[in-house]
Structures are given as C-alpha cells and as structure tokens.
Amino acid sequence: MKFSSELVQVTLSDLPPEESVLTDVLSHLASRQINLSFLCLDETSGGCVSFCMTKTDYALVGELIDNLLQPHKICSEVAASVGTLTLFPHQSSLNILGLVLTIFGQNELPVYGMNSSISALAINTDYHRLDEAAERLKALFLLPENHAPFRQHPPVSISGEQETSNQEDLIVETAATYWEPVIKIYGSNIKTDLVITTLSFPVDRLTVLGEQLQEIENGMGRFEMAAMQQVDDQTLQFILLYESVNEQSSRKLLSDVAENFSLSMALNEPVELLYFHGPHFQDRFGVADAALTTLKKHDLRIIVAGCSGTSIYLITEEKKAILIAEALKTVFSVPKYV
C-alpha cells in the first residue's frame, strides 16, 4: 500500500465524441510538460474523464483548461485536495475489491476515481484522510513486516510545519518526470472474449455495492478490470470487465444486485482489452496524449481507458484491439534485448 503526494483531480463530463476536446486538452498539457499521475476515461455514458496532477502544476494550467473548454460550453469539476491510495496485489478478486469498497463506504471515505491495473488498485480520496483509509484497510489486510513506507514525503501539519515522521512517512524515492519521443514499455497484451457492465448508483450506496461484490465472487470468478468515477456530487459509476465465459451467470448476478438495491445497470456488450506493462505512466508527461491522440487520428474508439501507476488499460470494441495495437506502435515500443 502506498500514498501519492497531494493532487488536484479535474473531471470533464458530457464530452462530445465527435470533437477533439479531450485530446486538445491533453496535447496542451503535454506541451507544458504537465504530468498526469492518474486518468480514467469512460465513454459508456456521455463521455467523462478524470485526471490528476500536482497542485503546483494545476496552478499553472487550471485557467488554460477552462479556456480550452469554454467554446464547447463544458465545465470542469475540480477536487482541490486529492490523494491516490494504491493497494496491491488485488489478485483480480471481487472479494478483495468488494472489501475495499465496503470499507470506504462504511467510513464515508469519498471515492473520486478508481482504476485497477495488473496487480494494483488505485483509489482517489481526500488527501487528508489517506492515513485514516490506510488504518481501516490494515484492520482487514495483512501487510508484510518489511513493507515500504506509505508516503514519498512527510505530512505537513495544519500549522504548516513538517510533522515528525515514523517509518510509514519517510521519503522513499525521488520523483522524476521525463519524456520520450517513442515510449519504451516492457510488453503489451490483448485479451478477447470479454464483457463490460456498468452500474450507476448514489454515492451513499457504495457500501451496498462492496458487500454485493463479495457475495457474488464465487459465481463470477475473476475480473479483468474495475474502474469507478464520480459522475456528479450524488452519483458514482462502476465499470466491471470480465470474461464472456462467465457472462450468463454474471449478468444474472449483477442484474439481481441492481434490481434489489436500486442500482442502474447497463451495457452488457462484448469488448476487447489492450494493456501495456510498465510505461511508468506516473513519471512521464505526454503518455495519455500520445495514446489517445494517436487513436483519435486513426478514428479508433476507446470505450474505457484506465491509466495509473505503471499500466495503461484500453477497452475497445470487439475485433478492434489489434488495430489499436498497430496504431500505437508509432508511439510505444517494446525494447529488444540482445
């Protein structure tokens, strides 16, 4: 488990799919060397994207973002003090995912955004409540005795003075931000025969969702990807990707959950997944711009994108993942070892 530094989360809703609003914003941010440590794009219901940057960077580009959005009459929702809690490994387990969401719901810890990657679950919540979230999670999850410190930087007290650090508060690494014309990655993978389902529900029903995910794990098996966005002050949208071999049982289980607990369920459709290993997304400005702008130029639609930690996940329509992989070869490269 680890914490990010203090971040600002920007959310753009109702993005017109035929226009290049998002890629314009991403290109301008990349040109100013603004790194995005987290991005979640959801095109399943009206087009919504959330991304995070440091408070210092937002002070430089917040007005620019608003100016780019103004001609399209799109407003940005800004969460001014957000922290990302990363928990790993999640083991692709609905039980673990459900436990985490239940803890957040029971303790009224807000979830502003969530992405899963190969092994990690990244959740955005209030920065000043990261320690509380960690304490609640530690009550249910066993950490190794030699676990790394949670923080990169010691916390700052309300008076502005740096507090005395314990082992969990030590500086553990120096953050570096850099750029490459062709981004080297460790590898990529395509998964087919997948199904995506979305559940929309009031914020105060997060505990219900978490408890039900724990209940239905045996009938659904493992998930391939999970994501969540706060669509507005009152509504969360949960996205679940899983193998189509489980579609019939999974659809019945999720439908029962939606019906019994007043959750809105939609979009059971066949999709494919392309994901990259190890592009160190959080350390490289311009990564999201490189991927999404390239795909926009090739007119290749992304249904959901999740970028956090060291992974990029792209959910696309059936039989399109291979086309996306080919298009992205101009900006992503797997190193050749001699």
> What would the pLDDT profile of 288-304 be if each residue is shown by its tens digit?
999 999 999 999 999 99
Q: What percent of the chain has pLDDT over 90?
A: 51
| pLDDT classification of 338: cutoffs 50, 70, 90 | very low
> d(Cα 151, Cα 173) in Å, to the nearest integer?
9
In the chain, count H helices and then E strands: 8, 15
56-60, 131-135, 144-148: the lowest-pLDDT one: 144-148
Task: Give residue-wise pLDDT tens across range 105-121.
Answer: 999 999 999 999 888 89
Q: What angle do CA 175, 179, 180 make, to 5 degrees?
A: 135
List of residues 6+ apart from 290 with CB closer than 8 A: 30, 183, 331, 332
18-22, 164-168, 182-186: the lowest-pLDDT one: 164-168
Tabulate helix, strand, coil % of the chain (nearest 5).
35, 35, 35
Tell whether the torsion through CA atoms of 248, 276, 144 and 136 is positive or negative: negative
3-state SS assignment for residue 213: helix
pLDDT of residue 47: 86
Tell whether the torsion through CA atoms of 197, 200, 206 and 207 is positive or negative: negative
pLDDT of residue 25: 96
What DSSP state is assigned to residue 178? Answer: B
CB count, 10 Å around CB of 106?
13
β-bridge mates for residue 313, sequence order? 275, 306
Mean of pLDDT values over 136-153: 72
Asked if the bond preceding 17 is cis, omega within 30° of 0, the reply is no
Backbone angles phi and psi of 292, in degrees to 5? -75, -35
> d(Cα 283, Cα 335) in Å, to the nearest integer?
18
3-state SS assignment for residue 33: coil
User: DSSP string spanning 110-164?
Assistant: --SEEEE-SS-EEEEEEGGGHHHHHHHHHTTSPPPTTPPPS-SS--B-TTSPBPP
CB count, 10 Å around CB of 148?
14
Q: Which two structure tokens, joined as six digits, stand for 301? A: 């639609």
Task: Give residue-wise pLDDT tens across range 255-270.
Answer: 887 887 777 887 667 8
pLDDT of residue 293: 94
| Closest listed residue to residue 226, CA positions, set 213, 240, 215 | 240
> d(Cα 61, Cα 71) in Å, to the nearest integer?
17
> d(Cα 95, Cα 87) in Å, to the nearest integer?
14
Q: What angle do CA 69, 295, 283 make, to 5 degrees?
A: 75
> d(Cα 291, Cα 329) in Å, to the nearest integer?
10
pLDDT of residue 129: 97
The residue that leads in pLDDT, 278 or 177, is 278
3-state SS assignment for residue 304: strand
| Closest listed residue to residue 250, CA positions, set 267, 262, 235, 237 | 267
